[in-house]
């Protein structure tokens, strides 16, 4: 699926940027269902009972609650903060508009925003 691959590529880079870890992401990889970051054993959030979340990363979800009371669009803006950093390291020249368009297509597929169902795509 083209869209999924595109987002995968995007977040593979973002992930390397944030963690400094070269982590090959495959299609079976789980992604945070809030911010779209690839989930690893190290960056999973925690449920209310202290167990590891299957769906969300530690930046988005701790002790069974979302760390930020974002709308989908706010989450997109939040993730765009990392764009300059990402471009600098990868040599890619993704404009904020291009990155934003990718995320606005990708995020509605994530569980957190799918359930809310009150986002606007544009
Ligand atoms: Zn997340």
Per the domain annotation, does 121 fall within a domain?
A: no
Q: How far is the CA of 57 from the centre of ligand 1 (A)?
A: 4
Q: What is the extent of the structural domain holding 84? A: 2-116
Q: What is the model's pLDDT at position 91?
A: 77
Per the domain annotation, does 29 fall within a domain?
A: yes
Q: How far is the CA of 30 from the centre of ligand 1 (A)?
A: 11
Per the domain annotation, does 72 fall within a domain?
A: yes
Per the domain annotation, does 122 fall within a domain?
A: no
Q: How far is the CA of 61 from the centre of ligand 1 (A)?
A: 7
C-alpha span between 19 and 59 (Å, rounded): 12
What pTM did the predictor assign?
0.67
Q: How far is the CA of 7 from the centre of ligand 1 (A)?
A: 14
φ/ψ of residue 3, rounded to 5: -60, -45
C-alpha span between 56 and 33 (Å, rounded): 6
Per the domain annotation, does 49 fall within a domain?
A: yes
Q: Mind listing the pLDDT tens digit of every residue in the chain (122 residues)?
A: 444 555 666 776 676 666 655 555 444 568 899 998 888 888 999 999 999 999 999 999 999 999 999 999 999 999 898 888 767 766 778 899 998 998 898 899 899 998 655 544 44
Q: What is the model's pLDDT at position 106?
A: 86
**DSSP 8-state secondary structure symbol assigned to residue 109:** G
Q: What is the model's pLDDT at position 2?
A: 45
C-alpha span between 31 and 44 (Å, rounded): 10
Two tokens at 22? 């070269």
Reported as type and span, the H/E element at residue 116 is helix 111-116
Q: What is the model's pLDDT at position 1?
A: 41
Please give all residues whose CB falls under 5 A of ion ligand 1, grouped by chain where several chains appear: 32, 34-35, 57, 60
Q: What is the model's pLDDT at position 63?
A: 97
Counting the structural domains of the chain, the total is 1
Torsion of CA 57, 35, 65, 48, to 10 degrees: -30
Sign of CA dihedral 98, 74, 5, 29: positive
Q: How far is the CA of 96 from the centre of ligand 1 (A)?
A: 20
Q: How far is the CA of 3 from the centre of ligand 1 (A)?
A: 19
Sign of CA dihedral 61, 65, 66, 67: negative
Q: How far is the CA of 91 from the centre of ligand 1 (A)?
A: 25
Q: How far is the CA of 93 from the centre of ligand 1 (A)?
A: 24
């Amino acid at each position: 699926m083209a869209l999924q691959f595109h987002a995968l590529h995007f977040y593979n880079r973002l992930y390397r940027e944030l963690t400094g870890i070269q982590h090959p992401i495959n299609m079976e990889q789980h992604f945070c269902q809030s911010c779209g970051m690839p989930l690893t054993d190290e960056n999973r959030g925690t449920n209310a009972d202290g167990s590891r979340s299957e769906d969300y990363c530690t930046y988005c979800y701790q002790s069974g609650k979302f760390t930020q009371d974002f709308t989908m669009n706010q989450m997109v803006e939040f993730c765009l903060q990392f764009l300059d950093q990402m471009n600098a390291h990868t040599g890619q020249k993704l404009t904020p508009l291009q990155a934003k368009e990718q995320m606005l297509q990708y995020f509605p597929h994530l569980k957190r925003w799918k359930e809310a169902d009150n986002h606007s795509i544009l």
